[in-house]
Amino acid sequence: MDFSELLDGLNDKQREAVAAPIGNYLVLAGAGSGKTRVLTHRIAWLIGVENVPEGNIMAVTFTNKAAAEMRHRIESTLAEQRLFGMWVGTFHSIANRLLRAHHLDVDLPQDFQILDADDQLRLIKRLMKLHQFDEKAFPPKQACWYINNKKDEGLRPHHLDAGDDRQEREWIRIYQIYQDACNRAGLVDFAELLLRAYELWLKKPVILARYQQRFQHILVDEFQDTNKIQYDWIRLLAGDTGNVMIVGDDDQSIYGWRGAKIENIQQFLRDYPKAQTIRLEQNYRSTNNILNSANQLISNNHNRLGKDLWTQDGAGEPVGIYAAFNELDEALFVSSQINIWLEDGGKLDDCAVLYRSNSQSRVLEEALIRANIPYRIYGGMRFFERQEIKDALAYLRLIANRQDDAAFERVINTPPRGIGDRTLDILRNLTRERQVTLWQATQIAIHENLLAGRASTALLRFRELINSLQQETEEMPLFAQTDFVIKHSGLYEMYQQEKGEKGEVRIENLEELVSATREFVKPDEVEDMTDLTAFLTHASLEAGETQASPHQACVEMMTLHAAKGLEFPRVFMVGVEEGIFPSAMSLMEQGRLEEERRLAYVGITRAKKKLTISYAESRRLYGKEERHVASRFISELPKECIQEIRLRGTVTRAYNRAATVNASALLNDDAVWKMGQKVKHEKFGIGTIINVEGVESNTRLQIAFQNQGIKWLIAALAKLEKV
Ligand code: ATP
Ligand code: MG
């Protein structure tokens, strides 16, 4: 291969970076300017032109997906060459690899287990209880933050001095207790991975020297989101002779809340005074309307390093702004827009839907399912597959059918009620010997005194609980039944006590489940089923069947954080409302608003061809209905680049495709139904039209009734009155 080809398809500035003499570099540039492309080509250049053995290169990316992608891109650039010796990965995966190789040097068993954030919090909780800390004065979640923060700063308990501060002394004690327990059990949390890897360098200069000699070329993508320990680790590894190329964008720093330091960029320039800064200014990703919107938005932040970003691309379509009147309308709007995109020849996997927090996904998921649009949630779990939702559904299933062994197994000891594995084993054996279900086995075990007294009592209580949950909710509408079961099964309380961020999210999701049952409309074909059974069927079908296989073309759904570094021709940013985005929390903490704005900048700059931003004037989230106003970020966009999408426009477009219709007649005629119109139905009462399909005598209306859920009705037959 002629390696000068590596420079084809690059602009002058990019070439300068890719073909720069070996040394230290900062590539500082805005979104979509080719930073990641430069990094990839630089690696290929080092191998192909500078003859650097690939084993001498380490590349750090922000996600594992990005690591795989980079490896793949370099391999294809170099044609057949396989990259065996090169280390490419996230800080965590590289630290993990290092620690496994040198576990003795850092006092870890080779098969040490990694604790995720959830496990970590559970362990801390348990230890704090064991050591009788008052959870009110010392919330476990705060202990978690404390410990992780100290680790991110490279600090062990013995580095810390509380002085006269009693509170601080206690935090340090918790840190110590937790660390001792982890060490005994061979457990390593995420922050610990990085800290141990750093300590390896400090403790074992010989090992450090070996790696310094090996990794003479270090490249780091998304550098603006490195924290202190990550920076120090790189700094030590590079020493004074290593060659480091960092690429980043201060405007895309979105992990400050997790300890990332934008200042690391300046620190790098202080530590490597000879480092050259290369700025890329041409954006290759987005149209002018999208790029100008992003530029204008981010100009509202202060203390930026400052960058110019322009594109040769045309203006493109204006950025669409859609004011939905509620979250269902917003979701339907997104699904109908995706359909229009497809009809226009667009591809499914070119679309991405981005939101601020995972709990916003449910309504969107349901709309996509209804519209038969396959989707994949990237970096998150589908709503009905989440642990807490499955727990709640298992209770409901057991109420509907005592013989559901899977549901039984799931909730028999959730929340914990002292029914251990031994008891369960006896029950499981009984099911085999007597050919009965677990529920029946409990009865046998109790009657025949096969269990210890305590276990027997616990089982009896469990049976009573399930029976009474059924009796007490028999007459209730489905949503009230669901709510009652969540609250009285002990699930709600259990997750409420799990105080960390995860616990809060789980509670929000449980409340979302109640909203889901409230909105659920039993399809006609299952008229005979109880509402509960119909809903459970719906949930399990949704959880299983519509899950797209990894290779199937899908709409990608993800949080804005997860979207960093990615790009899509067609992007929807939803829920862009004050209190959601920027989040309510961010309005209370200094500096957080600017981080939210950077997150908005990240979101906007994911779009290549077409971007639509939407917000809902009223939103039911976490079980509550709230009025919202459009996010300030929308008002910060340049007027000439945006276009409000009015209902009239959307309805007209959808109609034109469905049938021949005279849109203006439709919109002027009194008999015409518009989305958002309040109506009254003889039997169902007051509702709001949330969707209109078909024309003239075929017009079908989807109406959200205040007390009867959502229904599709044929306009000509429904005898609706406008109110
Ligand atoms: P982000 O800040 O979002 O991570 P980035 O700066 O890393 O963005 P890339 O993802 O490397 O940008 O590039 C953005 C897009 O522009 C990619 O599709 C890339 O292939 C394309 N691109 C980059 N440089 C050029 C070029 N010189 N000519 C044509 N396309 C380019
Ligand atoms: Mg990038």
Tens digit of each residue's pLDDT (9 = 90 or more) over 177-188:
999 888 877 778
Active site residue 556: no
Q: Which of 307, 356, 362, 606 is catalytic?
A: 606
220 bridge partner residues: 60, 246
> What is the spatial distance between Cα 621 and Cα 579, in angstroms, rounded to a whole number?
12
pLDDT at 382: 60
pLDDT above 50: residue 657: no
Q: Which of 221, 251, 365, 404 is catalytic?
A: 221
pLDDT at 668: 34
Ligand 1 atom closest to Cα of 252?
2
Active site residue 180: no
Give the global pTM.
Answer: 0.72
pLDDT classification of 580: cutoffs 50, 70, 90: very high
- Provide the CATH number for the domain formed by 3-103+194-282 in this structure: 3.40.50.300
CA of residue 620 to ligand 2 center, whole Å: 35
pLDDT above 50: residue 662: no
* Ligand 1 proximal residues by C-beta, below 6 Å: 9-11, 14, 29, 31-37, 249, 252, 284-285, 565, 567, 605
Beta-carbon neighbours within 5 Å of ion ligand 2: 35-36, 565
113-185 belongs to which CATH class? mainly alpha
User: Which tens digit of pLDDT belongs to each residue from 462-493?
Assistant: 999 999 999 999 999 999 999 999 999 999 99
Ligand nearest to the CA of 252: 1
Locate the domains of the chain by residue range.
3-103+194-282, 113-185, 319-382+547-645, 384-525, 677-722
Q: Is 623 annotated as a binding residue?
A: no
Mean pLDDT of 339-350: 94
CA of residue 31 to ligand 1 center, whole Å: 8
Counts of helices then strands in the chain (DSSP H, E): 28, 22
Same fold, 113-185 and 384-525: no
Q: Is 380 annotated as a binding residue?
A: no
pLDDT above 70: residue 670: no
Protein residue with its CA nearest to atom 16 in ligand 1 = 284
pLDDT at 548: 40
Average pLDDT of every residue of the chain: 86
User: Which tens digit of pLDDT belongs to each residue from 161-176?
Assistant: 989 999 999 999 999 9
Check residue 163 and report its DSSP letter: T
> In what helix (H) or strand (E) does residue 147 lie, and over which residues does it extend?
helix 140-152
CATH superfamily of 319-382+547-645: P-loop containing nucleotide triphosphate hydrolases (3.40.50.300)
Nearest CA to 702 out of 215, 371, 348 is that of 371
- Provide the CATH number for the domain formed by 384-525 in this structure: 1.10.486.10
CA of residue 568 to ligand 1 center, whole Å: 12
pLDDT at 269: 95
Tell me the ipTM for this assembly: 0.99
Which range has the top average pLDDT, 17-26, 393-402, 622-631? 17-26
Ligand 1 atom closest to Cα of 38?
11
Tokens of 508: 């929000």
pLDDT above 90: residue 587: no
Check residue 32 and report its DSSP letter: T
What number of residues does the chain have?
Answer: 723
User: Which tens digit of pLDDT belongs to each residue from 522-569?
Assistant: 766 566 678 888 788 777 655 433 334 445 789 999 999 989 999 999
- Which single residue is written with the structure tokens 């996997």? 349
Tokens of 181: 């327990």
Active site residue 35: yes
pLDDT classification of 437: cutoffs 50, 70, 90: confident
User: Which tens digit of pLDDT belongs to each residue from 222-253?
Assistant: 999 999 999 999 999 999 999 999 999 999 99
Protein residue with its CA nearest to atom 13 in ligand 1 = 34
- Tell me the residue ranges of DSSP E strands in 161-308: 187-189, 217-220, 243-248, 276-280
CA of residue 30 to ligand 2 center, whole Å: 9
Active site residue 387: no
